Structure 1
Amino acid sequence: MPISMLHCLQYNSFKGLYQVVAVKRLDTTGVQGEKEFLVEVLMLSLLRHSNLVNMIGYCAEGDQRLLVYEYMALGSLESHLHDVSPDEEPLDWNTRMMIACGAAKGLNYLHHEAKPSVIYRDLKSSNILLDEGFHPKLSDFGLAKFGPTGEQSYVATRVMGTQGYCAPEYATSGKLTIRSDIYSFGVVLLELITGRRAYDDNGGPEKHLVEWARPMFRDKRSFPRLVDPRLKGNYPGSYLSNTIELAAMCLREEPHQRPSAGHIVEALEFLSSKQYTPKVSNTVNSAGMESVESPKETSVILPQESERERAVAEAKLWGETWRQRRQSEQSSPEGSK
């Protein structure tokens, strides 16, 4: 649906102040445009969360269809990943993990806290908007659907969405579930890791991000090849495998094998808490992973042996936790859907 965005000042009579807002003008030519406008107004009137964009108001007078949102000062995640000029600094690793965690929290709210549950259906980097401090918020709910009710395990609907983000089972059957959103989130997480577009017409045989990355999921020695080269090695090698494995879980072909949004939030809260602090010099071994002398992501300096023991313990805990959750999910009614 064609849209145009503009920014303007709104007078807040309660505070006696002007505030900058974003106004989205929708082209409602045809039935689909009108439907998406109504869906977005309905969804944003019902939903409230710190990781969802806030709708301030709307206009549906004559042929005008306007949505008024809070102004998101830093624009979209897409622009910060894919439209960065050579003289600009790319998003650092810590910021990328913080954005991923916030987006996952918004998705978890839609899936498990909103009543009724909501399937987003259009999760992509251009729909993740960034406020001051790179605080992420999901936006554009024109394609959203309420989740299945009663005995139903899916919502049957016409296939909509953006190339590169659409879950394979939804693309082929039109059967939409919350696990379809998880696949799309996996694509966004992979964008954050790699700095590549989900789909690039100019990418030749590598135009599909997931198809390019999937063979490398099988070999941890290939993981450094997945990382955005603009980071120049400034990422925590000891937690890179956890992050890539999480993306791979979200992108599993079988929907019921993908983690829930809640489990993704828990994993990303853990990963985003491991702040990477680069040092003056890096030492990289032949496989591209950090050596013992390379930068550590912990903010507390510990003796080398203690640091190694703690890393081993955390890795074991990570693996045990995910195994238990996968077994629990597969034995639960939801896991069998």
Structure 2
Amino acid sequence: MSRPPLAALIGGAVGVVVLVGIVVLLVWFCLLHNRSVSRTSENGSSDSSIQAGRSVGAESSQRGRVPLPSDSREATPFVLEELGLATKNFSDINLIGQGKFGEVYKGLLHDGMIVAIKKRYGPPSQEFIEQVHYLSSIRHRNVVNLLGYCQENDQQMLVYEYIPSGSVSSHLYGVSQPSSEKLEFKHRLSIALEAAKGLAYLHGLTPPLIHKDFTTTNVLVDENFIAKVADAGLRNLLSRIEAAGPSSQMMADNAFLDPEVREYGRFSEKSDVYSFGVFLLELVSGREARSQISESDQRLVEWAQSYQDASNIAAIIDPRLSDNFTAEGIKDFIHLTAQCMNPSSERRPNMNNVVTELDHILEREMSLTTVMGEGTPTVTLGSQLFTASR
């Protein structure tokens, strides 16, 4: 048997080496590709489940609730079945109110979170989803957070964080008035300051978010009596999805509306400032703005707009206020109220200035109406306002 030629042996060896090299290159390429895909998924840029959570169509009831990244502030899409379970099928037992958007229910989600769910009938709307995603991105300590939404079976729902202690209006003149301790002037000042911070934050957004429906009913307090502005942007959402603004009747009956809005229909930051002034007026008087002043035919709003001096302050102050406040503090508070309610929007302060003034008044009240020790300056307590008026 003859040996194979040397050239054939060399050629075979070279072929084997080339084949091994090709295999090594293929293995290396596959490993590199898999590593790249893995890195892309970790960054969240190509993970199909995360992309589904970001797409508008992801709220389909067929696929259930879409998980969002833990650090996301996007509105969570809920399905009708989930919110039905949370509210015992929207039972009257869980009905806690009626607002401009619709009925409001208290709900308990499967993860133990308590929420407030606003429900109305309305056809599916892309505008609704876009507005909800924008409003849910607004987060502030003194603004009620919009957490999620549902749009199914010709129903639209908004899911908000639940604020347990209700509205400021219910504590001032509603059925759930708190103890006299909660009605102290310092408590009311603190509520006013926190609500002002919430409204100032909305005005500081780019572009500014005008509330357009700021009332005492739309300021809620939590279990620690921290005030939060509710329904921010809700009027905008309703007008966009209904392609119509509020009725002229509702506007005419709303004591919180700026006279310039009534006349021209134009909202601005200064129209919110006017509404905030009416809120301050209700805080200090403990009465609704439509009610009458004792022994007078003037409404509270007209009284504040005609306010010139402190000679008739006693007629406006809530008699449930304890006497642990200063006459100077009350006068400054009412003066600020009158400034906010100036008929001319140009003469009203902006909300940042309102925050500064309220902070100053509260700081002074806290220092002057605490237990007075030796060396503490004597102050004129508010009770002397009532004594002087008799």
- Provide TM-score, normalisation by structure 1: 0.70
Q: Are 1:226 and 2:316 an aligned pair?
A: yes
Q: Deviations over 1:179-218 (max 9, x none)?
A: 0000000000010000110224999975732013434x21
Structure 2 vs 1, CA of residues 37 and 123 (structure 1 numbering), >3 Å: closer, same or farther? farther
Aligned pair partner of 2:162 in 71, 78, 86: 71
Aligned pair partner of 2:262 in 150, 171, 175: 171
Structure 2 vs 1, CA of residues 192 and 73 (structure 1 numbering), >3 Å: closer, same or farther? same
State whether residues 22 and 71 of structure 1, in contact with CA within 8 Å, keep that contact through their aligned partners in structure 2: yes
Q: Deviations over 1:43-71 (max 9, x none)?
A: 42231111111112110112121111111
Mapped partners of 2:273, 2:358: distance in 1:
14
Higher relative contact order (CA 8 A, sep 6+): 1
SS in 2 for 1:231: coil
Aligned pair partner of 1:249 in 317, 327, 339: 339
Amino acid at match of 1:20: I
Q: Are 1:108 and 2:200 an aligned pair?
A: yes
Match of 1:22 in 2: 116
**Offset, 1:276:** 5.3
- Provide TM-score, normalisation by structure 2: 0.61
Structure 1: give runs of 5+ residues left out of the alignment.
Answer: 13-17, 146-156, 278-295, 309-337
Query: Aligned pair count?
Result: 269
Q: Deviations over 1:78-133 (max 9, x none)?
A: 11111146895362211111110011001111112x12111110000111111121
Match of 1:303 in 2: 375
Aligned pair partner of 2:218 in 123, 127, 134: 127
Mapped partners of 1:167, 1:190: distance in 2:
14
State whether residues 26 and 37 of structure 1, in contact with CA within 8 Å, keep that contact through their aligned partners in structure 2: no
Structure 2: give runs of 5+ residues left out of the alignment.
Answer: 1-99, 238-244, 380-390
Structure 2 vs 1, CA of residues 38 and 178 (structure 1 numbering), >3 Å: closer, same or farther? farther
Tell me the percent identity: 34
Computed over aligned residues only, the root mean square deviation of the Cα atoms, in angstroms, reads 3.2
State whether residues 9 and 20 of structure 1, in contact with CA within 8 Å, keep that contact through their aligned partners in structure 2: yes
State whether residues 166 and 183 of structure 1, in contact with CA within 8 Å, keep that contact through their aligned partners in structure 2: yes
The aligned runs of 1:84-163 (5 Å cut-off) are 84=175, 88-89=179-180, 91-112=183-204, 114-140=205-231, 141-144=233-236, 161=251, 163=254
Q: Deviations over 1:27-55 (max 9, x none)?
A: 448x9xx7996686244223111111111
Amino acid at match of 1:45: S
Structure 2 vs 1, CA of residues 19 and 42 (structure 1 numbering), >3 Å: closer, same or farther? closer
Q: Deviations over 1:300-331 (max 9, x none)?
A: 63525x556xxxxxxxxxxxxxxxxxxxxxxx
Mapped partners of 1:142, 1:298: distance in 2:
40
Match of 1:44 in 2: 135
State whether residues 10 and 21 of structure 1, in contact with CA within 8 Å, keep that contact through their aligned partners in structure 2: yes
The aligned runs of 1:284-295 (5 Å cut-off) are none
